[in-house]
């Protein structure tokens, strides 16, 4: 059997390639080979959202996709949204609104919220959208859209407050 050609993609703007075991998850590649420890391994079954990253503008559970499947993709982890010296507005809002307690889910929450805000800006409806042509970001709408990201500490109301703080005002 011929070797699998390496997958080439960008992680936080940096070109990388992966030519290892084709069964390796994107999560394990990010953590073990790129030392991007912000992406957390929670359940490893796609149920908690701790491993959420953004691939080509869409949020995904990195534990449920393979590194080799990312060929040609742009991947953003929480480290790519801001730095210790220059936090993103959403990261600052999570701090200001105490949108975390233990902090384990926070990177996935922030990646998911970042992509969700872009989805709302593009007018994507959700399961609870009353009007498919004019999506209003009610708290119910935001909770539905963030429902794939669990917080064992229960900081949900503070997470919603942080998201609201950075969302563009609906006109």
User: What rounded mean pLDDT belongs to the chain?
Assistant: 93
Q: What share of the chain is helix, strand, coil (3-state, %, to 5)?
A: 35, 15, 50
Distance separating alpha carbons of residues 10 and 1, to the nearest angstrom: 28
Strand order in the sheet with 7-11: 14-18, 7-11, 74-76, 52-55, 58-61
Nearest to 57 by CA among 122, 109, 106: 122
What is the residue-level pLDDT of the chain in tens, covering all 171 positions? 566 789 999 999 999 999 999 999 999 999 999 999 999 999 999 999 999 999 999 999 999 999 999 999 999 999 999 988 999 999 999 999 999 889 999 999 999 999 999 999 999 988 888 888 888 889 999 999 999 999 999 999 999 999 999 997 654
Distance separating alpha carbons of residues 29 and 49, to the nearest angstrom: 17
Backbone angles phi, psi at 131, to 5 degrees: -125, 115
What pairing do the DSSP bridges indicate for beta strands 74-76 and 52-55? antiparallel
Fold of 7-81: Ubiquitin-like (UB roll) (3.10.20)
What are the strands, taking DSSP E only, across the chain?
A: 7-11, 14-18, 52-55, 58-61, 74-76
Distance separating alpha carbons of residues 25 and 39, to the nearest angstrom: 12
Query: How much is the pLDDT for 171?
Result: 40
Pick the CATH number of 89-166 from 3.90.550.10, 3.30.479.30, 3.90.1150.10, 1.10.150.120: 1.10.150.120
Query: Domain limits of the chain?
Result: 7-81, 89-166
Exposed e or buried b for every residue in 97-114, given b needs 16+ CB within 10 A? bebbeeebbbbbbbbbbb
Nearest to 53 by CA among 102, 137, 158, 69: 69
Distance separating alpha carbons of residues 30 and 17, to the nearest angstrom: 11
pTM of the model: 0.93
């Amino acid at each position: 059997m011929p070797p699998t050609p390496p997958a080439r993609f960008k992680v936080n703007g940096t070109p990388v390639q992966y030519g290892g075991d084709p069964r390796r998850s994107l999560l394990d590649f990010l953590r073990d080979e790129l030392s991007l420890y912000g992406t957390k391994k929670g359940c490893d079954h796609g149920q908690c959202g701790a491993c959420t990253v953004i691939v080509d503008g869409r949020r995904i559970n990195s534990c449920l996709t393979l590194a080799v499947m990312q060929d040609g993709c742009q991947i953003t982890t929480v480290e790519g949204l801001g730095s210790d010296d220059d936090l993103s507005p959403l990261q600052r809002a999570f701090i200001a609104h105490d949108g975390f307690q233990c902090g384990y889910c926070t990177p996935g929450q922030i990646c998911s919220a970042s992509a969700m805000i872009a989805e709302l800006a593009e007018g994507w409806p959700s399961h609870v959208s009353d009007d498919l042509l004019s999506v209003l970001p009610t708290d119910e709408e935001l909770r539905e859209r963030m429902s794939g990201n669990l917080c064992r500490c229960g900081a949900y109301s503070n997470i919603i407050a942080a998201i609201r703080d950075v969302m563009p005002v609906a006109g």
